[in-house]
Amino acid sequence: MTSPSALPGPQAAALDLGGRTALVTGAAGGIGRACALRLAAAGARVRAVDRDAAGLAELAGHAGDLAGTVEPHVLDLTDLDAAEFVAAGTDVLVNNAGLQLVRPLEDFPPDVFHTVLTVMLEAPFRLIRGALPHMYGQGWGRIVNVSSVHGLRASPYKAAYVAAKHGLEGLSKTAALEGAAHGVTSNCVNPGYVRTPLVEKQLTDQSRAHGLPEDRVLTDVLLRDSAVKRLIEPEEVAEAVAYLCGPQASFMTGASLVLDGGWTAH
Ligand SMILES: NC(=O)c1ccc[n+]([C@@H]2O[C@H](COP(=O)([O-])OP(=O)(O)OC[C@H]3O[C@@H](n4cnc5c(N)ncnc54)[C@H](O)[C@@H]3O)[C@@H](O)[C@H]2O)c1
């Protein structure tokens, strides 16, 4: 376990994940892609997992100059056995893959609810389960779960997403309690709306559900409760993920690191 004397001094060195293996799910997309590049920049060997083969290939092409490496693993996380298998031997696990459907409860398709819960809650459980034996064996591991403000607050028309993120918060806290004695931390990061394809795709759905023109969805719906009136960038979320992987954060576990422009300060 890291002792306080191992902490960096005031001129703290940059995050060094040389020799570490990190796994990032949903790495072909906005936040996951930024996390994969940030951890590879810190020297990690990154297993980049996504079902989007073209996106992963594009990501790997961007990683050439970094200190670490990015290795694409094309995988649909609804294959839960494969998800658990691919997590074996990882030192850092970033559970990030996600999807969204904006629809009133009475019209919410049960099969989509099931898929959202599978990818965003059950797969993280299986990935953690696959990663823990190696982490426990060496007495060190970092689990970062990309949750959301919707892990802490609900919004209408997002039943599956809100349920999955609230479940992920509970999973993360449980992993923190069980992992502490083994040098494993588990935390969530909780962004507000991030500038990614997931949000861009939502604008049409939200405009239909709220009966608003698309150009008003950003200001009247997405940023309504945010004190800072802009979307957060994926790289800003990746920096919080990197912080949670560093020695400065070894006492931080079971926490939810909120990056919401003041949304939950209301
Ligand atoms: N964009 C936001 O505003 C926002 C805010 C808070 C939290 N988040 C969370 O951040 C995470 C990433 O979101 P994003 O905005 O970068 O989304 P994104 O759509 O840009 O990326 C999500 C990635 O997950 C992958 N994915 C989805 N289903 C998969 C499956 N079955 N198997 C393998 N890969 C799969 C997609 O292919 C995609 O590359 C999600 O968990 C999301 O809930 C996003």
Minimal-distance CA residue to ligand 1 atom 39: 29
What pLDDT does residue 53 have?
A: 98
Q: Is 226 inside any structural domain?
A: no
- Ligand 1 neighbourhood includes 78 CB (under 6 angstroms): yes
- Ligand 1 neighbourhood includes 50 CB (under 6 angstroms): yes
Q: Is 106 inside any structural domain?
A: yes
Provide the β-strand partners of residue 191.
Answer: 259
Ligand 1 nearest atom to the CA of residue 149, by list position: 6
- Ligand 1 neighbourhood includes 198 CB (under 6 angstroms): yes
Which of 135, 198, 134, 205 has the alpha carbon at shortest distance from 165? 198
Q: For residue 232, is pLDDT > 50? A: yes
Domain count, the chain: 1
pLDDT in tens, 218-230: 888 889 999 999 9
Segment 119-138 mean pLDDT: 99
Beta strands in 115-158 (DSSP E): 141-146
Q: Is 261 inside any structural domain?
A: no
Q: 176: domain CATH number? A: 3.40.50.720
* Domain extent for 95: 21-192+232-255
Q: Is 169 inside any structural domain?
A: yes
SS (H, E, C) 149-171: HHHCCCCCCCHHHHHHHHHHHHH
Q: Is 174 inside any structural domain?
A: yes
Band the pLDDT of 1: cuts 50, 70, 90: very low
pLDDT in tens, 12-69: 668 999 999 999 999 999 999 999 999 999 999 999 999 999 999 999 999 999 999 9
Q: Rounded to an integer, what distance in angstroms lies between the CA atom of residue 259 and that of residue 192?
A: 6
pLDDT in tens, 170-199: 999 999 999 999 999 999 999 999 999 878
Q: What angle do CA 211, 214, 217 make, to 5 degrees?
A: 75
Mutate to test the pocket of ligand 1, among 24, 25, 31 (most ligand atoms within 8 A of CB): 31
- Ligand 1 neighbourhood includes 141 CB (under 6 angstroms): no
Segment 251-260 mean pLDDT: 98
Q: Is 156 inside any structural domain?
A: yes
